[in-house]
Amino acid sequence: MFDFLKKKKEVPIDHSAQSFYAVATGKVIPIDEVKDPVFSQKMMGDGYAVIPSSGDIYAPINGKVLSVFPTKHAIGLKMSNGLEILLHMGVDTVELNGDPFKIKVAEGDAVTPSTLVAKVDLEKLEKAEKSNEMIVIITNMDAVDQYELTNKGEVEASAEVGHVTVK
């Protein structure tokens, strides 16, 4: 009845290394090679991108969906260690108002690297002259102890590409 008087149990932070995965079949590149300076200069955080050969886009982490942007070009995710991840699909794609994106998840959904989170019409991105880089960014870098991209180049979707530990 008086639950508000009870102390909340603190959830311990998982300091073990957690993995990042390729969001699509294609080529993994470090974030500093992304064509947009906001991402390549790490203004939003560190991470990586996949230049996809397929429009099937999978979750980059084990975690849950925090938000789906109304323009469908980005999905906010959270890892069990508290890190917040942004999956940004393409560069300057917000102005497309969601047209090339079919989102397959909703806020609160649990995701794994085998979860299809979106289908992207890569031809529509090309016709709109937009870069198709699928960018994965750790947005709360202040909580990161170590981040490493360990697998660059050609990969299959859901292949492990890096890991992170928190402070």
Q: Which residues have a Cβ under 8 Å from the Cβ of 2 and sit 6 or more positions away?
A: none
CA distance 81 to 47: 16
Catalytic residue chosen out of the listed positions 15, 73, 88, 163: 88
CA distance 76 to 78: 7
- How much is the CA Rg of the chain, to the nearest whole Å? 16
CA distance 48 to 5: 44
Does the annotation count 15 as an active-site position? no
The token pair at 46 is 């560190």
Side by side, which strands form the sheet with 84-89?
A: 110-111, 63-68, 74-79, 84-89, 134-138, 46-52, 26-30, 153-155
For the annotated catalytic residues, the residue numbers are 88
